[in-house]
Structure 1
């Protein structure tokens, strides 16, 4: 189910569609206003890409998708909204007219603008309530990249800004609070400098569009993607750090390496030169193909960062933790299998047939078992103290298929337990349908000594009442099976 909160998206182009997808897949209801009759088709195409991409960054189930509506008026779009995002054309007079209409109906709702160039004080001119208008500048694709530059002015209410930042964190974004108004904010000022130099390199025949892109993606682009600029250069300074780097490379600032303050004449000749090279470079792909290729590459890169808890990956891990914190509590410790894990079959979980891969059945079992161990007090803190439960033996029975998007639950039945052993029967289900069962024997181990030992009293105090309650349960028919054993 949706969380019943509503986001209003004003403008349904590439950026507005990305915002709509980000909110929808985070469980928000979304209303879109865009007078373009093609807007529903365009947003639907962006949303289709987002559905295939964003869940692949998560390791917990996505919320139930919200409801998407297209409204015929700004009033209907913003009515009842908890957050408004404006993503219309970069024309200040148009934005002012739209803001006036928005604030006739929703004067107190926080309203972020996707503008890349205007400052918030410009957006707020003559507004009915300037305190709620601010810049929330994202990066394409909005449904994947976490950065949103949040730029307030001195007219903004600090509470509104903090609330907006929290909303963005809730949908998996990284709100970067820009403390001082400046044209083009932070990121685009940097990109503009690179862009201007690239235009000169093409115009002067030094490099083609493809060669410039190769220089970025084969070299410093990979460094920037995980360490940015200053951290990268700190490493370049060696053991002496940033000061040494500055001492070594500072003098080159006076050399004529770039033409950043000099812009090539923007004329038809330059446009045709760049457009022709770009067509030769990428024209064999449709825009939608390029978007999907981009998304797959970003997913792979960001998941690597997630594995190392670094950069954008740290945002993903924190977002997973937020969603885990709101997951349903385990079932009571009574004579019933305990539901320990809620999962969803993600794009990275399926094979060429569209079914969940064998490794992910084991992953689902591991998630369920780990949740049970945390429940009895044998989680990571316990492991850090030198003790852990090790799996000594397991048997998996594939009972059904799981497909992309299926929501799964993992439950635990304790077959037996004593001071050193824990015998579990894990069911992975889709609703009431059994997808797989996993029988597992775990031994409690002193990790330093490398041998089994009795679990700590605090763990046994949590475990043994569950084991006692589960004695009343019927023993699963699949328990004790071996490979090739008859099903009957």
Structure 2
């Protein structure tokens, strides 16, 4: 039986939370009195379905069931986790939290608030110990950060349980050790936003020029190293102390206006809105969301390849998803990978380039090795499977954005060898096959050796089950061999 999450408030953030839980196999009940809530969440979910699976290298669990509740009581009934995402009005949040607690007892209640402290949310609550801040970032279904902010009244064990739930849906819970207005991330954003308003108001830069300064420069550095690690490198071999000694005096210079706020009036609003329209008005919001998601997927997958930053979170979530794969043996091929054709995968013809067919096969093979226990921990112990030979057959085309599935059939094995047949499918159509022969190697000795008994014990039932399957017609086919 699927676990259940309740989402109270179905706007952009609430919809993102709903999508994040649903696509990770949770049932989700949403309460939002807005008559357009179902349409709005449907559009967010459509974006999420196209985007989130592209970050995973193993199949996502079956999607949970989405329901729209007629009341808060109905929404929270049976929920293991509750996320409140209503408008940023403290009186409204107090009223909603009170209604939630009339029907939930001991269940974690996270609030998406970007500004209120947990102690403020807990005021007058029937059980303040279960209420805390879980502040995400848009799009919630892609960006992993959730600032988890407890107060002194919070139940420490419940907070740890809530953080584990967030990890299980692929998020990175950042435990904020001391409650503070706007938490951590939004305090940075407020400082940058305030300075940007002055730059526009004083005619120094347009909205587009400010965005270019961020995305062409320090934004790329921040996206994978943050602030302090970036500045540590700026200090050269002498490190952070040298950086602080060199640039610390700048703090006394009148470079910024962070303690001063421009007058917020119609003139400033019209100036910024007009520049923003000129910059981005040619795109609809839905188009901008899809452009944003595609860029985030590409960037985060690069980080994933390097096991760094947000990519490290994605890799860890893949491990959790792999643990949920159906247990072999079954007399059927194993579905072990889901992929999406990304911009870097296509050639000048707009089709998936040939090297990516082999790459897709490798992703499937890697997940098979994880399944039998020959994972990175096994490699760290000095042993691994090496590909000795492979044969790729290109059968059909894939284009940008296509969703692909990878399956594997074990044809044979012994204590040193593994012979696998991989199919890459677009829907029901096989677009490529990859036949691989792998040798188990002692990396220190540099020669083949028997695999560990526990690896062979996991491989044996899969191979025995697959022995009942028809042998693929093209197995063993050499290059150029005629069909039939």
Inter-CA distance 444–153: structure 2 relative to 1 (3 Å threshold)? closer
Secondary structure at the counterpart of residue 69 of structure 1: strand
CA distance in 2, matches of 1:467, 1:216: 51
Q: Which runs of 5+ in 1 are unaligned?
A: none
Say which of 170, 185, 188 aligns to 1:187.
185
Inter-CA distance 255–355: structure 2 relative to 1 (3 Å threshold)? closer
> In the TM superposition, what is the alpha-carbon distance from 1:169 to its structure 2 partner?
0.5
CA distance in 2, matches of 1:418, 1:292: 48
1:160-309 aligned at under 5 Å gives the runs 160-309=158-307
Q: 1:455 maps to which residue?
A: 449
Q: 1:424 maps to which residue?
A: 419
Matching of residue 344 in structure 1 with residue 338 in structure 2: yes
Query: Structure 1, residues 423-468: CA drift from partner, whole Å, max 9, x if none?
Result: 6242538799794654434456676777xx4524746993997899
Question: What TM-score does the superposition give when structure 1 sets the normalisation length?
Answer: 0.87
Decide whether the 8 Å contact of 2:117 with 2:181 is kept in 1. yes
> In the TM superposition, what is the alpha-carbon distance from 1:140 to its structure 2 partner?
0.7
Matching of residue 366 in structure 1 with residue 362 in structure 2: yes
> In the TM superposition, what is the alpha-carbon distance from 1:78 to its structure 2 partner?
1.2
Secondary structure at the counterpart of residue 95 of structure 2: helix
Inter-CA distance 351–155: structure 2 relative to 1 (3 Å threshold)? same
State which structure, 1 or 2, has the greater radius of gyration over its C-alpha atoms: 1
CA distance in 2, matches of 1:385, 1:53: 35
CA distance in 1, matches of 2:418, 2:271: 70
Matching of residue 394 in structure 1 with residue 405 in structure 2: no
Secondary structure at the counterpart of residue 107 of structure 1: coil
CA distance in 2, matches of 1:368, 1:388: 16
> In the TM superposition, what is the alpha-carbon distance from 1:188 to its structure 2 partner?
0.7
> In the TM superposition, what is the alpha-carbon distance from 1:329 to its structure 2 partner?
3.3
Query: Structure 1, residues 249-305: CA drift from partner, whole Å, max 9, x if none?
Result: 111111111111111111111111111111111111111111111111111111111
CA distance in 1, matches of 2:434, 2:187: 55
Decide whether the 8 Å contact of 2:352 with 2:397 is kept in 1. yes
Question: What TM-score does the superposition give when structure 2 sets the normalisation length?
Answer: 0.87
Decide whether the 8 Å contact of 1:377 with 1:459 is kept in 2. no
Query: Structure 1, residues 297-333: CA drift from partner, whole Å, max 9, x if none?
Result: 111111111111111111111111111123233328x
Matching of residue 141 in structure 1 with residue 139 in structure 2: yes
Q: 1:313 maps to which residue?
A: 311
Inter-CA distance 347–131: structure 2 relative to 1 (3 Å threshold)? farther
Secondary structure at the counterpart of residue 477 of structure 2: coil
CA distance in 1, matches of 2:441, 2:8: 58
Q: 2:55 maps to which residue?
A: 57
> In the TM superposition, what is the alpha-carbon distance from 1:344 to its structure 2 partner?
2.5
Matching of residue 79 in structure 1 with residue 53 in structure 2: no
CA distance in 1, matches of 2:386, 2:467: 26
CA distance in 1, matches of 2:17, 2:374: 40
Matching of residue 480 in structure 1 with residue 476 in structure 2: yes
Inter-CA distance 369–173: structure 2 relative to 1 (3 Å threshold)? closer
Inter-CA distance 130–400: structure 2 relative to 1 (3 Å threshold)? same
Secondary structure at the counterpart of residue 12 of structure 1: coil
Secondary structure at the counterpart of residue 395 of structure 1: strand
Inter-CA distance 196–367: structure 2 relative to 1 (3 Å threshold)? closer
CA distance in 2, matches of 1:167, 1:461: 30
Please tell me the root mean square deviation across aligned C-alpha atoms, in Å.
3.4
Decide whether the 8 Å contact of 1:425 with 1:437 is kept in 2. no
CA distance in 1, matches of 2:130, 2:91: 18
Inter-CA distance 354–475: structure 2 relative to 1 (3 Å threshold)? same
Q: 2:92 maps to which residue?
A: 94
> In the TM superposition, what is the alpha-carbon distance from 1:14 to its structure 2 partner?
0.8
> In the TM superposition, what is the alpha-carbon distance from 1:82 to its structure 2 partner?
1.0
Q: Which runs of 5+ in 2 are unaligned?
A: none
Inter-CA distance 30–356: structure 2 relative to 1 (3 Å threshold)? farther
1:27-66 aligned at under 5 Å gives the runs 27-66=25-64
